[in-house]
Amino acid sequence: MKPKTEGNLLLIKGGRVIDPAGGIDREMDVLLRNQRVAELASPGALKARAHQTLNVKGCIVAPGFVDLHVHLREPGQSYKETIATGTAAAAAGGFTAVCAMPNTSPVNDSVEITRWMQAPERQSVARLFPIAAATAGSMGEKLTDFAALQEAGAVAVSDDGKPVLADRLMLDALRTAARLKLPVVQHAEDSRLTAGGSMNLGPTSFRLGLRGMPDVAESDVVRRDIALARETGAHLHVAHISTRDAMEAVRQAKRAGIRATAEVTPHHFTLIDENVADFDTHFKMNPPLRSKADRDAMIAGIADGTIDAIASDHAPHACHEKQVEFERAAFGIIGLETALPIAITVLYHHFKLPLWRIVQLLSSNPARLFSLDGLGTLTPGAHADVTIFDPKKKWTYDASQSRSKSRNTPYDGWSFTGKVIATIARGRVCYHD
């Protein structure tokens, strides 16, 4: 279908609207007009003559998903991914907005790169929000100009992949960010404890003869950061949490009223270190897949509200960076297209979590965490970003058909229940099953 945009009316008919921010969970029709949500009404009640109608009976109509953690590799590594291909994959996965990490080449530590990423020439299919580097070149020495970066469109700061370890620097970052109401996203890893490691430390790493990364390398940094967040009143956002201990730290922090939030990836609540069994580098990521007890703690954290958001940590790499010896292989997997199917298959069908909660984790919560105004809700007046998915549809993921430039996924050939049917960004259908 070839939808028009401006001034057009798009009617989404027959679906079940789940809008946690608006407090709605029932069958409703949704009318989009001029890139905004115009009206929600009982099925059949909307009489407007829409230019385009989507009949989505049996499907969930949710606010567009927001991914707080993706790597789109531009500028500098367009052989892995571009903003255009990465956001096309996002759209196919139901994400209408993505937050792009700054570990590009060069590192996004400047107003220029922040603006460049958002320029129309990048042909972004979804909304792109840059996360700027917290320190110059992510070298952990000198803070970047948070105010200028925020002004240029950055929604958070982070040295993702290269954690800010120096206490004083992290304190300064949090203090500055607090003043600007800018979240500080920390990839919690004490790299002094993980040097040379390529998977979780435990029985499996011993059996495979691979150097291990201990769980304390994550939880120690999370505890330190929480203490500093309490000092400064800043918003600390823990990226891709993976250990039971760190989860407990965040749980306690929230109880104590500290502004600490956390995201979890689909792989950390689904897979475990034992999956590395035959050295398949598609199971190599950082943080690594952890023990079964850690994985269970991720589920518990999702269920009890300790976890705020599901983020993909979409990390594309070319074949030649993955089809090498396990220790030499790049960390990371693509994940934009499989996040919803995994969430539905694992959290909804297996663990019986309500769809409401899953939509919250994928949409309203992340939009709120990074203050993305007008996103994460279907309240009239909000941006016309909508994700429509069928929680019962069975299908098989074929990585060779991915919209991403890369194919580094452990889920190739996996069968899922739950699929994105259509994605609408800025009032335009940018993906249709």
Per CB under 8 A, residues contacting other proteins are: 202-203, 206-210, 278-280, 320, 323-328
Question: Which residues 6+ apart lie within 8 Å of 389 measured at CB?
Answer: 59, 60, 62, 94, 340, 344, 418, 419, 420, 421
Residues in the chain, total: 433
Taking the complex as a whole, how short is the minimal distance between the CB of residue 206 and other proteins, in angstroms? 5
Query: Contact at 8 Å (CB) between 36 and 427?
Result: yes
Contact 411, 386 (CB under 8 A): no
List the one residue out of 140, 142, 66 whose CA is nearest residue 100. 66
Between 207 and 292, CB nearer to other proteins: 207
Q: What is the DSSP letter of 264?
A: E
Quote the least distance from Cβ 208 to other proteins, whole Å. 6
Q: Which is nearer to other proteins, 121 or 325 (CB)?
A: 325
C-beta of 240 vs 284, nearer to other proteins: 284
Measured between alpha carbons, how far is 13 from 59 in angstroms, rounded to an integer?
10
CA distance 389 to 359: 11
75-90 burial, b for 16+ CB within 10 Å, e for fewer? bebbebbbbbbbbbbb
CB of 210 or CB of 226, closer to other proteins: 210
**What minimum distance in Å lies between the beta carbon of 298 and other proteins?**
22
3-state secondary structure of 235: coil
Give CA 115 to chain center in angstroms. 21
Residue 287 tokens, joined? 């943080």
Active-site amino acid positions = 313
- Smallest distance, Å, CB 259 to other proteins? 37
d(CA 422, CA 393): 13
Least distance (Å) between residue 327 CB and other proteins: 5
Q: Which of 202, 290, 183 is nearest to 244 (CA)?
A: 290
Cβ closer to other proteins: 6 or 325? Answer: 325
Closest CA to 89 of 397, 337, 333, 267: 337
Largest CA distance in the chain: 66
Shortest Cβ distance from residue 274 to other proteins (Å)?
A: 11
**Least distance from C-beta 249 to other proteins, angstroms?**
24
The C-alpha angle 370, 374, 378, rounded to 5 degrees, equals 120
* 3-class secondary structure, 253: helix
Q: Which is nearer to other proteins, 51 or 207 (CB)?
A: 207
Select 206 or 351, whichever has its Cβ closest to other proteins.
206
Name the residue among 143, 219, 198 with its Cα closest to residue 174. Answer: 143
Nearer to other proteins, 284 or 368 (CB): 284
From 207, 262, 252, 208, select the one nearest 227 (Cα to Cα).
Answer: 252
Nearest alpha-carbon partner for 269 in 249, 243, 246: 243
Q: Which residue from 217, 225, 218, 312 is spatially nearest to 261, judged by alpha carbons?
A: 225
Q: How far is the CB of 196 from other proteins (least distance, A)?
A: 12
